[in-house]
Amino acid sequence: MSMTTATTDEVAEEPPAPAAPSDQRERDRMRRRLARRRGGGWWPYLFLAPWFVGLFGLTIYPMLDSLYLSFTDFDLLTPARWVGLDNYTRMFADDPVFWDSVHATLVYVLVSVPLKLALALGVAMLLNRDLKGIGLYRAAFYLPSLLGGAVAVAIVWRQVFGGDGLFNDFLAWFGIKGQDWISSPDSALYTLVLLAVWQFGTPMVIFLAGLKQLPKDVYEAAALDGARPVTRFFRITLPLLTPIVFFNVVLQIIDAFKTFTPAFVISNGSGGPLDSTMLYSLYLYKKGFTDLQMGYASALAWVLFLVIAGFTAVNFVASRYWVHYDD
């Protein structure tokens, strides 16, 4: 109904289209008027309506609700009961498992992200040349990051690093006797780190696209000046690539904080052995949905949100000092 009125409005305002748009100036004027029209009245809001509902209904309101719940005792079935800061004091002062999960998560993030990005950049550099079969290599390296989130892959991983798994067969070639890497609290987390590193394909593809855009003349000049490959890498490639390094660092850190599936599958949902694979998301899930302590889990969620926001903010601030923007 309202749509038809709007259309008639526009038609009414619009001068009749010139029968013969031969006059260039007339056409230009028309174009300018149309450009002003890009404001489009309420059209953009109509197109954005679903997104607005999602933004407010499924993001902003839930964030606020979660903040409120974090100050309550809430088990979903009975109304939330205000407990002030109890959840937060309990978390920081009185919950050793919380600290176990913080520890596991920080190790996981700080080890897996640099390794993954270094491998991604290294392989992208290898691929950034005229080689036969580039497409094939790129595809092979990308495949794991497409599959990596699947439960099935985590199941396979559990067997690869089990006592009689593939990894120990490999070590046996070198005469090393392995152990059950999954059930040892010292190594279980590192099997998850390896699983993350195995998925270096996504940042690699992004690096590769970035490498292809680097200005060629700089390299030609450097090559003519006899700059060695190492020099070229540190003096030209890396500085020019910093915006993409930055992009990848931000995204991979956020991704690593969110990791849930492999920790759940490898530990059978327990986060064990000895909480060594209790990644933060897994702990949050257990508190919220296994123990139905949804107030406490909301507090955990807010802490996660603040930590990720903090990491991202630090990244953005630090980027002023190391990211090189051309324009």
Within 161-200, the residues that bind other proteins by CB under 8 A are: 164-166, 169, 198
Considering only residues 98 to 137 of the shown chain, the ones binding other proteins according to CB under 8 A are 123, 126-131, 133, 135, 137
Select the residue interacting with other proteins from 25, 177, 216, 228 (CB under 8 A).
Answer: 216
Ordered DSSP codes for 154-213: HHHHHHHTSTTSHHHHHHHHTT-----SSS-TTTHHHHHHHHHHHTTHHHHHHHHHHHHT
Q: Residue 63 or 110: which CB sits closer to other proteins?
A: 63
* CB 206, min distance to other proteins, A: 3
Give the number of other Cβ atoms within 10 Å of residue 137's Cβ. Answer: 14
CA distance 117 to 120: 5
Per the structure block, which two tokens stand in for 39? 């404001």
CA distance 86 to 99: 17
* Binding flag, residue 210, other proteins (CB under 8 A): yes
* Binding flag, residue 142, other proteins (CB under 8 A): yes
* Binding flag, residue 6, other proteins (CB under 8 A): yes
Cβ atoms of 109 and 284 within 8 Å: the answer is no
Q: Residue 88 or 219: which CB sits closer to other proteins?
A: 219
Considering only residues 46 to 85 of the shown chain, the ones binding other proteins according to CB under 8 A are 47-51, 53-55, 57-59, 61-63, 65-66, 69, 76
Per the structure block, which two tokens stand in for 122? 């290294």
* CB 38, min distance to other proteins, A: 5
* Binding flag, residue 248, other proteins (CB under 8 A): yes
* CB 237, min distance to other proteins, A: 12
Per the structure block, which two tokens stand in for 145? 């990051």
Strand 81-82 versus strand 72-73 pairing type:
antiparallel
Considering only residues 251 to 310 of the shown chain, the ones binding other proteins according to CB under 8 A are 254, 257-258, 260-261, 264-265, 268, 280-281, 284-285, 288-289, 294, 297-298, 301-302, 304-305, 308-309
